Amino acid sequence: KATVSVLNWSLPLACVGRRTMSEKVVKTDVEWKAQLSDQEYRVLREAATDRPGTGGYTKVYPKAGHFACKGCGAPLYSAGSKFDSRCGWPAFDQAFADSITVKRDSSMGMERIEILCARCDGHLGHVFNGEGFTITNQRHCVNSSSITLVDEGVDLPQKTV
């Protein structure tokens, strides 16, 4: 597998900038603002962050279903990939294959890996490696404002980034 180094992490090249989900969702700022609440817009389109512990999905652990992008409805995470990291935001240990992309985030005086919806480029949060919470050794720290819970499950392969 081809890999690329992002912040000294070796990530599969397929995860970086690849757009393989169904048709790309492109909207104007006016269209996004009409669709999303003010907070959802700030998070998804301006890369803001929900305050810790305030999101509606922080302490929600469904037994079935999946989490989808609030902006475009793309399936992102299975309900089973969500876990309690006690970080103040919803945490997942893997995403549906090709559902997210990553990029370097040098904001706030630190280096992080930003995760975005592959279909609409909406900001989801950040991914952290090596913390040991789960067997995948990844924590996708996701803003509640960027996702929605869908009761139905989807049969898609999952992977780490």
Catalytic residues: 141
| Residues contacting residue 83 through CB under 8 Å, at least 6 positions apart | 91, 92, 93, 133, 134
> Do the beta carbons of residue 99 and residue 76 sit within 8 Å?
yes
**Token digits for 150?**
């869908």
- Position 113: which residue type? I
Whether 99 contacts 117, CB under 8 Å:
yes
Those residues whose C-beta lies under 8 Å from the C-beta of residue 121, and which sit 6 or more positions away, are 101
Which contiguous run of DSSP H or E holds residue 15?
A: none
- Considering only CA atoms, which of 100, 76, 91 is closest in space to residue 156? 76
